[in-house]
């Protein structure tokens, strides 16, 4: 185990999802204490927390709905008490509703914005304010998507939420740069996990089609996404802020 992030705490929303877990383990492997929040009940976190225990790092799990600003604030206060102020902040929780812009209900639309965009904002804003309060540097890495800049049918709410996230990343990067808080985004294409896998499970034809469409002819693993998140948090990254690290196997070149 490397000690690159020893004495640092990473906080990850949607941390029981496929990409969230890979990010948690990647930071634990480098010595960070890991705080996970997810809407899933605590009993669903047990096997993952066992993996963190084996890595001998501090950890904290809390059931939290990121759409609720107060729940997010309480979660962060509890993490701060147990593991110290998180300086590596990873807004990752998201959901996707497959429905056309004409058919999606206003409730579905609002819920998706509240989770994907507002939820990421609640986590990033509260943690940034805690760092400012302690005059500490830090890193925020949003987990976005290539869908932020490439329109897809039946995914308007998701794409709009991720496009908003990209602008939030740039605005926060500009505002926080002078305080030593670097803000970036990782934007994956098709990851063979999580949200995409759930869609593909219902439609194997779409899975084969998606795979063939990627110019590099490969799907991304959650571990590869995690490696790029860690890369943006690396102490040697002193100058990248407000950027999007697009890792889509060349998909967006087709558009
Ligand atoms: N899988 C892909 O192909 C892909 C591609 C590009 C970007 N992404 C992004 O990666 C991130 C992780 O997605 P994933 O593919 O691992 O999906 P996932 O479904 O495995 O993980 C998402 C997690 O977020 C949690 N969550 C949902 N609503 C929540 C809420 N209100 N509060 C707290 N937690 C909540 C879920 O319980 C789940 O554990 C997302 O931001 C997603 O948009 C995924």
Between the CA of 93 and the centroid of ligand 1 the distance, in Å, is 5
Where b means 16+ CB within 10 Å and e means fewer, 59-94 reads: bbbbbbbbbbbebbbebbeebbeebebbbbbbbbbb
Q: What is the CATH number of domain 9-190+224-247?
A: 3.40.50.720
Task: Verify whether ligand 1 is closer than 6 Å to residue 247 (CB atom).
Answer: no
**38 touches ligand 1 (CB under 6 Å):** yes
Which helix (H) or strand (E) element contains residue 216? none
pLDDT at 255 over 90: no
Probe residue for ligand 1, chosen from 19, 22, 40, 186 as the CB with the greatest number of ligand atoms within 8 Å: 19
In which region does residue 154 sit, left (phi positive, over 0), alpha (psi from -120 to 50) or beta (all else)? Answer: left
Q: How far is CA 104 from CA 110, 120, 149, 156, 165, in A?
A: 10, 22, 20, 9, 20
pLDDT at position 1: 75
Query: How far from chain centre, in Å, is Cα 235?
Result: 19
**Atom 14 of ligand 1 has which residue's CA nearest to it?**
194
Residue with the smallest CA separation from ligand 1 atom 39 is 17
Percent residues over pLDDT 70 in the chain: 100
> Does ligand 1 lie within 6 Å of residue 244's CB atom?
no
Q: Which residues contact 54 (CB under 8 A, 6 or more apart)?
A: none
Q: Hey, whose CA ends up nearest to atom 25 of ligand 1?
A: 14
Name the pLDDT band for 59 (thresholds 50, 70, 90): very high
Cα 134 to averaged position of ligand 1 atoms, centre (Å): 30
Rounded to two decimals, what is the model's pTM? 0.98
What's the mean pLDDT when you consider all of the chain?
A: 97
Mean local confidence (pLDDT), 59-66: 98
Q: What would the pLDDT profile of 122-153 be if each residue is shown by its tens digit?
A: 999 999 999 999 999 999 999 999 999 999 99
The residue ranges of every structural domain in the chain are 9-190+224-247
Give the distance (Å) from ligand 1 centre to CA of residue 178: 31
């Amino acid at each position: 185990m490397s000690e690159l992030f020893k004495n640092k705490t990473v906080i990850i929303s949607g941390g029981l999802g496929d990409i969230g877990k890979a990010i948690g383990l990647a930071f634990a492997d480098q010595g960070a204490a890991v705080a996970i929040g997810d809407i899933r009940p605590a009993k669903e976190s047990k096997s993952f927390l066992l993996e963190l225990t084996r890595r001998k790092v501090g950890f904290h799990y809390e059931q939290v709905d990121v759409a609720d600003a107060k729940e997010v604030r309480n979660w962060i206060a509890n993490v701060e008490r147990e593991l110290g102020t998180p300086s590596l902040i990873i807004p990752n929780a998201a959901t996707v509703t497959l429905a056309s812009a004409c058919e999606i209900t206003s409730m579905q639309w609002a819920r998706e914005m509240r989770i994907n965009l507002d939820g990421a904002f609640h986590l990033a804003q509260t943690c940034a304010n805690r760092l400012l309060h302690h005059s500490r540097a830090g890193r925020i890495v949003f987990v976005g998507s290539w869908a932020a800049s490439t329109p897809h049918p039946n995914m308007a709410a998701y794409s709009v939420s991720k496009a908003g996230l990209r602008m939030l990343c740039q605005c926060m990067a500009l505002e926080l740069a002078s305080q030593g808080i670097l803000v970036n985004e990782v934007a994956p294409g098709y990851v063979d996990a999580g949200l995409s896998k759930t869609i593909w499970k219902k439609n194997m034809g779409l899975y084969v089609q998606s795979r063939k469409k990627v110019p590099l002819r490969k799907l991304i693993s959650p571990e590869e996404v995690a490696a790029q998140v860690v890369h943006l948090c690396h102490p040697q990254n002193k100058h990248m802020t407000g950027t999007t690290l697009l890792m889509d196997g060349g998909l967006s070149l087709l558009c």
